[in-house]
Amino acid sequence: MELLKTNGNLIKLFAPKLKKGGSLYLFGKPDCIDFIDYRPFLKLNSKIVWYQPSRLAQGRKNYTNNYDIICYFSKGEPKTFNLDDIRVPQLVELEHRRRCENVPSVKNGKWGKTRFNNKGKNPGDVWGDIKQLTYKSKELVSRNVLNTIQKPEKLIERIVKASSNIGEVVLDPFIGVGTTAVVCQKLNRKFIGFEQNIDFITMANKRLEELENEQKYSFSFY
């Protein structure tokens, strides 16, 4: 319940800072916005399910929780949704979709112009293709941030790509070890981050320096 109050306050606090058409993503467990009336502040577009199929935890008294929710809000209608930058491979669905396109009701009905897109498909609102970091991940900056603090770059990249354009500003009020900063640096977005833990800030700055050196190095080839 404390967390719910916190999330409600976050929405109230950050919504006025957001530009019209801007996006806000809130991470949490499945119940993270239950009972919070966000409607006076923001529009909820999606509750994205970030799904981890291979958790060890195996409860005996309930269906084991295997996912987190990412609430995708916007201030009014979203100004930016760069679908083409976040398309994912069709993979197993390819054959299914090809078959669907030949169904008479699809062919001749109101979906007659629906065609399989070779550039890939909308990632949808269930993301099972991005694994949480493990103790083996090269990305992991410290064991202390495993499974709680550090998020995979791929996850933040999808969000930053979808909801911002090059040169725009991304704010991460709980930036931790700096994943959002690193992603923004790579994708040519500006960023602002807040963090209370001084060790995390040190790690974040180290990551940014390393990235800058890599970027310099790779430029020298061209």
Residues in binding contact with a copy of itself, number by CB under 8 A: 51
Provide the minimum distance between the beta carbon of 211 and a copy of itself in the complex, in angstroms, as a whole number: 28
**198 lines the binding site for a copy of itself (CB under 8 A):** no
Task: Tell me how far CA of residue 181 lies from CA of 12, 150, 172, 200, in angstroms.
Answer: 24, 12, 8, 12
Rule CB under 8 A: choose which of 4, 10, 100, 140 binds a copy of itself: 100
**In terms of residues, how long is the chain?**
222
Burial class (CB in 10 A: 0-12, 13-18, 19+), 97: middle
DSSP annotation string for 157-196? HHHHHHH--TT-EEEETT-TTTHHHHHHHHTT-EEEE--S
- In angstroms, the CA 172 to CA 17 distance is 12
**45 lines the binding site for a copy of itself (CB under 8 A):** yes
Q: Which of 3/126 has CB closer to a copy of itself?
A: 126
Q: Which of 135/219 has CB closer to a copy of itself?
A: 135
The 3-state DSSP class for residue 201 equals helix
- Give the relative orientation of helices 179-186 and 198-219 as an angle to the nearest 10 degrees: 20
Site string for a copy of itself, 3-42 (x = CB under 8 A): ---------------------------xx-xxx-x-----
**105 lines the binding site for a copy of itself (CB under 8 A):** yes
Q: Which of 152/201 has CB closer to a copy of itself?
A: 152
Provide the minimum distance between the beta carbon of 97 and a copy of itself in the complex, in angstroms, as a whole number: 7
Burial class (CB in 10 A: 0-12, 13-18, 19+), 8: middle
- In angstroms, the CA 92 to CA 103 distance is 18
- Interface residues with a copy of itself (CB under 8 A) are 30-31, 33-35, 37, 44-49, 51, 53-56, 58-67, 72, 78, 81, 83, 92-93, 96-97, 100, 103, 105-106, 111, 114, 117, 121-126, 128, 135, 162
